[in-house]
A and B are shown apart, each in its own frame.
Chain A
Amino acid sequence: MLTESDVRKALKATVKSDRIDSWSLDFDFRKEKALDSLDQVTFVLHLAEDCGLQVPDSDIDKLTSIRAVLDYASARGHG
């Protein structure tokens, strides 16, 4: 089961910064330009390796916030 803590851990592993702690559940990574295109694929790699959540290329754009990731995982039985 994917938790908010798992997602934050994957984000921290991606951007290597504690600033993730200040991001709300609905903080939009894309709109705020907090993750660039390379960060996004690294984030998805951490979700796969550390949390077992496989995200196909076609779904990467759906992962816009922590809540969006949790909802995405939940809809696929990881929530």
Chain B
Amino acid sequence: MAQEVTGEVGICDVTAYVPENRLDLAAAASDFDTDEDFLRSKTGYLKVARKARDEDTSDMAAQAVRRLFDTRPGLAARIGLLILVTQNPDGYGLPHTSAILHGKLGLRDDVAAFDISLGCSGWVYGLSAAKAFMEMNGIDFGLLVTADPYSKVLDSSDRNTMLLFGDAATATLLGRDDRRWRTGKFVFGTNGRQWMDLRVDENRRLRMNGRGIFTFSAVRVPECLRQTLRVNGVALDDVDRILVHQGSRYIVETIGERMKAEQKTVFDANDIGNTVSSTVPMLLAEDARDSDRTVLVAGFGVGLSWAATILKRERGST
């Protein structure tokens, strides 16, 4: 009889994979009727990462996961759950890309693997889904992977999107042992009345209503962040950093201003771009400081959809 596994699931580690290729937006600024000053101060991205032509979503995802496995020998054999967040799957989306990823990683046959089709809110949704799934089914270790290469659907003549989106993948290891972060209560939301504001059209090209997305981000996201503080009984003063989806510098700074927390609200994706569901875990992997004890995280975008929670550093962990 299998030993019963109990205890709260939290975040043990986060790794990221960013392709080496870069599209130099500053060099191409005039092609998009803009200049470096606008890129620097508004979009925030001077370069964006681009996957190799022959690199697929599952390849990027596998790279991110292997960074976890490289530092934790034997971990692959202990994984019981694999969730992949993507809306740009391998091939035509059938089979689910998490199954292809499962094969590439050589995981056990008794691993539960499924995709979550969400955009920029996907990592936070996935965190809640993975935690609940693992706690309900007594799973020791799970992987929450994000890989959503928008370069597959970008229209190279569309300034609105070409100046923003980059390709990257992340892998979040969830478990009970060796936790770095404990999650708080989650807040979720959807506004399906505005689904047209960010979508792939009939020609399989991304279309974005910039005004609709900006207004949503500026109004709805601060409300969501305040609600998340409230339901967790945490004061803004007690939050060390606010890690929100890196839609653009302007959006992140607007959210920071509206939260009256400009110094705590991080923008840092200068030469990578908006990597959709990967931006928040990338911040956690690369920008969270040892002194950060309480962090407010939020993802928002396609859907329109949003989600947020509080992460608390485990005692003794760095």
Q: Which A residues have a C-beta under 8 Å from some C-beta of B? A: 36-38, 41-42, 44-45, 49, 57, 60
Contacts and interface: CB of A to CB of B under 8 A. Distances in A.
Contacts, number: 24
A38 B219 contact: no
Given A36-B38, A38-B42, A45-B214, 20 more contacts: A36-B42, A37-B210, A38-B210, A38-B214, A38-B250, A41-B210, A41-B211, A41-B214, A41-B215, A42-B214, A42-B254, A44-B211, A45-B215, A45-B218, A45-B219, A49-B219, A57-B209, A57-B211, A57-B212, A60-B211
Interface of B: 38, 42, 209-212, 214-215, 218-219, 250, 254
Nearest to A40: B211
Nearest to A41: B211
Contacts of B254: 42
A78 B211 CA distance: 23
A36 B250 CA distance: 12
Interface SS of chain A: helix, strand, loop or mixed? helix
A49 B42 CA distance: 22
A8 B19 CA distance: 45
A41 B38 CA distance: 15
A1 B153 CA distance: 45
15 contacts: A36-B42, A37-B210, A38-B42, A38-B214, A38-B250, A41-B210, A41-B211, A41-B215, A42-B254, A44-B211, A45-B218, A45-B219, A57-B209, A57-B211, A57-B212
A57 B213 CA distance: 12
Looking at A38, A44, A57, the one whose CB has the most chain B CB atoms below 10 A away is A38
Nearest to A60: B211
The 7 A-B residue pairs with the shortest CB-CB distance, nearest first, are A41-B211, A41-B214, A38-B250, A38-B42, A45-B215, A57-B211, A45-B218
Contacts of B42: 36, 38
A45 B257 CA distance: 14
Nearest to A13: B257
A37 B215 CA distance: 13
Contacts of A49: 219
A63 B312 CA distance: 46
Contacts of B215: 41, 45
A11 to B, nearest CB: 16
A57 B211 CA distance: 8
Contacts of B209: 57
Contacts of A57: 209, 211-212
B318 to A, nearest CB: 37
B30 to A, nearest CB: 15
Interface-central residue, B38, B214, B254, by most chain A CB under 10 Å: B214
Contacts of B250: 38
Nearest to B249: A38
A45 B258 CA distance: 13
Contacts of B210: 37-38, 41
Nearest to B213: A41
B240 to A, nearest CB: 26
A30 to B, nearest CB: 14
Nearest to A44: B211
Which of A44, A45, A60 has the most B CB atoms < 10 Å from its CB?
A45
Nearest to B37: A36
Contacts of A41: 210-211, 214-215
A36 B43 CA distance: 12
A75 to B, nearest CB: 21
A39 to B, nearest CB: 9
